[in-house]
Chains A and B, each alone.
Chain A
Amino acid sequence: MTQGLLNGIFIGLTFAIYITIAIRSRAGSTKEYYTAGGGVSPIANGMATAADWMSAATFISMAGTVAISGYDASRFLMGWTGGFVLLTVLMVPYLRKFNKATVPDFVGDRYYSRVARGVAVICAIFICMTYIMGQMRGVGVVFSQLFGIGVPAGVLTGAAIVFFYAGLGGMKGITYTQVAQYCVMAFAYTIPAIFIAMAMTGNVIPQLGLIGNYTVGGESVPFLQKLNNINTELGFQEYTSGKMSTINMFCITAALMCGTAGLPHVIVRFFTVKNVKSVRKSACWTLGFIAVIYLTAPTIGAFSRVNLIEKLHNTSYAEAPDWFKAFENTGQMAWVDKNGDGAIQYFGAGKSDMGTNSVFQGKGPTYPAYDAPENQRIGSQGQRLLANKADDSNPNELYFGNDIMVMANPYMAGLPMWVIALLMAGCIAAALSTAAGLLLVLSTSISHDLMKKIVNPKLTDKEEVKYARMASFAALVVAAYFGINPPSAFIAKTVAFAFGLAASSFFPTLLMGIFSKRVNREGGIAGMFCGIAFTSGYIVYFQFLGGTTDQLLFGITPEGIGFVGMLINFAVAFSVSAFTSPPPKHVQEMVENIHIPTGAGEAETHDFEI
């Protein structure tokens, strides 16, 4: 049986499961469409939220990011899990009590203003769009891997499937499908890690292997020490120490944490459980399920880094493993024989005077056209040649994308074929579950908050659904475009921007809305506007308008600027509120009321006007 056939069987099987679930639990009413009817059990919602939350970016490229940057990648590990603490203790129990279908609903009512609702809708769309671009890229990587096609074709295939899939279920369908998807993801992620941990450290539990000894070939040295030695030998930063400045590291972590707590597609997930008590319980389950994967990611990162270097560094191309050639074909790995010795060398920035280790000029690899003469496409060793000029300022010859670590991992470790097939199914589950959740929020933001609540309150159910579908289609087209031409080199980076925007808009606005009776309409709108304008301006300037690193504010990179945007939002909102009149009495009563934990269930029946 070939690998391709086995992949097909695994993916076909999981698809059959998802579609069966989606059809059996498809939404019967608009209430079920938006919040699954509010009766999902805490543990099921926990799994679904975990699946929704862990995107293709997390699944595919986080371990790779850890592998490349070692300690510095802790910002993602801590940021994306720590945010759930904020989300649980500050946000969701209160928002669940408030009991509306969407997040802009809360903003609109709390700040008693259509403008506030409008700004919130725009923020939600902006955040989901940024986020979904990363997803599309992830889907593309998986499909290109799966069918041996280029990433652009993979992105388009993925977009088509996601559109078909998200149209089916509504929140109810998505929820129960995500439960199944979480199970697939968890197995797909941990099983290869267990195999590799056993092979490299003799320990069944990867987390113990990471802090244990490296035992390959009769050696027995502390694993992390081995990794540090390899890294420094090749001119990389020591694995366990970082090179990022403390302030930048803190800002990025904080932006990711606050952003997590302000992500609309995560918040609405908690609207599906029965009451406030279940929200708290569900949050525990959610983070527990997420921790399973997040505690494994750093182990995969560390193991695969050692594996990659041992397998490829100083290996002649003729003897390079088959998987290397397969990844060359999809453009995810490349080799430029700078010194002409026919062997692959992998070096870090420490080996060059320029402080870089770029293999070629330009951001990503480009290739000669298919009809170009053969000597321009295929090198003397049979390697795939690049159209890029080689960067001769450093000796590094090996290029690979961050997203390759998880995908190549089982091949590198020589794992059985079914593990690889399972991994493929897991990647697709990760991409589908997040994309479906995001599309739901995107389309409801447009159909419910924009069309129904702002533009035309007389909209019928049927028209609302029609707008929702149109919105998801348009969103996917844009997302696919940016998935093919990512504004930033790595998936994790693209996604990090969504968090910056969420941190600077929703998090402070919701927090003040819940805990302050004094912050009013004017303050809320001004704060939100300044926060998001500052953050997106900063990001656009440094991503698209060619801002240079010495222009950075306090050395904070665009990924971390959401934290500063958040502080601006708070400051502006409080000062503007102080000079304008306090919110009307019914809004103050509403704030009092959301702090009383009971009664979330009853309110629902008459508050659902959709």
Chain B
Amino acid sequence: MKLDHPRAHRSACLKITLILLLVWFVVSCCGGIFFRDWLDANMPSIGSAPFGFWIAQQGSIISFVLILIVYAVLMNRLDNKHGYTEEN
């Protein structure tokens, strides 16, 4: 195993983590809490629900699941690229 492998893997891993956490923060805290009044007023309603309200009670949860799926796919791909493949 080459010496820079763990380091390259680690920094790529950190990048994935931080980007996904940014998405997570924007959706839940910004969309559901900080800017929800603005979103309610300025975004199209989801069905009959105001946009910010819908994000807070439904949309955020759906996006959390999507974030985890993306994380698992990206990390597994990264592990394979750096040769950290493990049989399931």
Contact = CB atoms under 8 A, between A and B. Distances in A.
A, B in one complex: yes
A598 B20 contact: no
A71 B53 contact: yes
A474 interface: no
A85 interface: yes
Query: A85, A86, A207, A240 — which one has the most chain B CB atoms within 10 A of its CB?
Result: A85
Interface in A255-310: 257, 274-278, 280-281, 283-284, 287-288, 291, 294-295, 298
Contact of B6 (A78, A254, A280, A592): A592
Interface stretch (A131-139, A210-218, A549-557): A210-218
A601 B58 CA distance: 37
B69 A284 contact: yes
Contacts of B84: 596-598
B71 A77 contact: no
B33 interface: yes
Contact of A287 (B17, B33, B65): B65
A518 B88 CA distance: 34
A293 to B, nearest CB: 10
A81 B48 contact: no
B13 to A, nearest CB: 7
A595 B69 CA distance: 20
Contacts of B9: 595-596
A53 B68 CA distance: 17
24 contacts: A78-B56, A78-B60, A78-B61, A81-B60, A85-B24, A93-B75, A211-B46, A211-B49, A212-B48, A222-B47, A224-B49, A240-B49, A240-B53, A249-B33, A250-B33, A253-B32, A253-B33, A280-B72, A280-B76, A284-B65, A298-B58, A592-B6, A595-B13, A597-B75
Interface of B: 6, 9-10, 13, 17, 20-21, 24, 28-29, 32-34, 36, 40, 46-50, 53-54, 56-58, 60-62, 64-65, 67-69, 71-72, 75-76, 79, 84-86, 88
Interface of A: 66, 71, 74, 77-78, 81-82, 84-86, 88-90, 93, 207-208, 210-213, 222-225, 240-241, 246, 249-250, 253-254, 257, 274-278, 280-281, 283-284, 287-288, 291, 294-295, 298, 592, 595-598, 601
Give me the 3 closest cross-chain CB pairs, A-B, nearest first: A211-B47, A222-B48, A74-B56
